[in-house]
Structure 1
Amino acid sequence: MHLTIVNPNTTASMTRTIGEAARAVAAAGTVIEAVNPDSGPASIEGYYDEVWSIPGMLEEMRARPASDAFVIACFDDTGLDAARSLMAVPVVGIGEAAMHMATLLATKFTVVTTLAVSVPALEHNVHKYGFAHRCARVRACEVPVLELEDPTSDARARISAEIARAKNEDRAEAIVLGCAGMADLAAALSAEHGMPVIDGVAAAVKLAESLHALGLKTSKAGGYAPPRPKAYRGRFASAGVSTDG
């Protein structure tokens, strides 16, 4: 299968890290293409960044009609519902995927994300996905997203310290890493803390592969029906062109 992973921010180095993490777990027959838009924020930290990242992300998806599935590589699941409306093939968000995986491994999990500004959006998603009774807490380790790209930063140590607090204070039995930029840390942190530490990129890849193998596609019977043809003006004029994915 051809699986396209879209990093909604514009930081190409992060996209490369995400692509490497995806290829490390992908099945032998899965071709991974990791891309990011040319326009939008360098990182997604809160509601404002999220809005401006969605148009570029959707354009990247529209440009790849031959893809068998898509993964949105932002833990906020940026634009996930819009993407599912646009595409017929499966679209998996790394946040939802990681939470699903956590519920298969533990009775309670904690999300460890980057900055406190992202916590309300992630708490909203926890409730939206029906995991409020399984998620002990959404924590922020106060590491800006782009610091995850800096090998001289103490980002890993701060993430690890927050995991230790989650284990002790939340009684978490599993940890969900709340940023795609943390994708390469999961295995080492799991070994360090003696508990499952789940990377959403890896979880989303395996779920996307499973949906494709089962021949399943996004339902178009209701909320994810294709957008109705209508005029879009100005800079978003091209968004009015309907597609069935």
Structure 2
Amino acid sequence: MSHTVLLINPNTSRPTTDMMVAIAQACFEHLGRSDILVQGLTAPQGPGMLTEMNELEQAAAIAQHPQVLAQAQHADGVIVGAFGDPGLQALAEQVSVPVIGIGQAAMLQAARAGSPFGIATTTPGLEQSILEQVQRYGWSEQFSGLRLTPTAPLDLAQEPERQNQELEDSVLACIQQDGARAVIIGGGPLAQSAQALQTKLAVPVINPIIAACELMAERLPAEPH
């Protein structure tokens, strides 16, 4: 028996969807779960990248979109591929399968890997939202703080090497200045940067896409051998 996991990208960038799906599929293969097939779904409307509160709120409306709901109801599991988990609760209430947000999964994994944990990301416009999210999921006591890259997020997205460097600096600030023992890279579109940094740093660097896939693998029963 195979499982289909729908990975929803709440922004309208198809290359971002393809990148996240590739990382997710490789993760399931690495976990020995070749029975899980990842299907990507790009937001049919809305912003191309979530960098401000109003864009995150717009993206949450994806949970009510008929096309999204129809696909979610036919999947065996759903991953919401934006760090703010837009529409997560609404989707979970409308389908009977596991629905996992990458922000939710990353914080759970970071708290397991090493408390205190920090978050490094590129979107200062979402700072308040991320702090509220930490509180909402109940991780305030384990949270060491948020570090932001200095360059505008849309500019960084065009320069992967610079994005990696600024995120590395932010991760190091989380570790050296805030005392973090694990650091989350806060963003689905930043998953490639998270992969690049995992091999370079001494503490766990949490890739939110990988965290969500590992949690999904726990929740979907494997085929008995």
Q: Please report the TM-score for the alignment, with normalisation by the length of structure 2.
A: 0.89
Q: Which position in structure 2 is the counterpart of 1:90?
A: 98
In structure 2, runs of 5+ residues without a counterpart are none
RMSD: 1.7
- Shift in Å at residue 84 of structure 1? 1.0
- Shift in Å at residue 104 of structure 1? 1.2
Residue 35 of structure 1: SS of its match in structure 2?
strand
Answer yes or no: is 1:176 the counterpart of 2:184: yes
CA distance in 2: counterparts of 1:164 and 1:53, whole angstroms? 31
Residue 2 of structure 1: SS of its match in structure 2?
strand
Residue 193 of structure 1: SS of its match in structure 2?
coil
1:155-191 deviation digits (Å, cap 9, x = unpaired): 1111111111111100111110100011122233122
Residue 15 of structure 1: SS of its match in structure 2?
helix
Q: Which position in structure 2 is the counterpart of 1:80?
A: 88
Report sequence identity in percent: 23
Answer yes or no: is 1:56 the counterpart of 2:57: no
Residue 133 of structure 1: SS of its match in structure 2?
helix
| Native 8 Å contact 1:37 1:57 kept in 2 | no
- Shift in Å at residue 76 of structure 1? 0.5
CA distance in 1: counterparts of 2:174 and 2:80, whole angstroms? 26
CA distance in 1: counterparts of 2:18 and 2:12, whole angstroms? 11
- 1:173–1:96 distance in 2 versus 1, CA, 3 Å: same
In structure 1, runs of 5+ residues without a counterpart are 215-245
Q: Which position in structure 2 is the counterpart of 1:66?
A: 74
Q: Which amino acid in structure 1 is aligned with residue 42 of structure 2?
A: N
More helix by share: 2
Q: Please report the TM-score for the alignment, with normalisation by the length of structure 1.
A: 0.82
Q: How many residues align?
A: 214
1:90-134 deviation digits (Å, cap 9, x = unpaired): 110000100100111102110111121111101001011110011
Q: Which amino acid in structure 2 is aligned with residue 17 of structure 1?
A: M
Residue 170 of structure 1: SS of its match in structure 2?
coil
CA distance in 2: counterparts of 1:201 and 1:125, whole angstroms? 17
Answer yes or no: is 1:17 the counterpart of 2:12: no
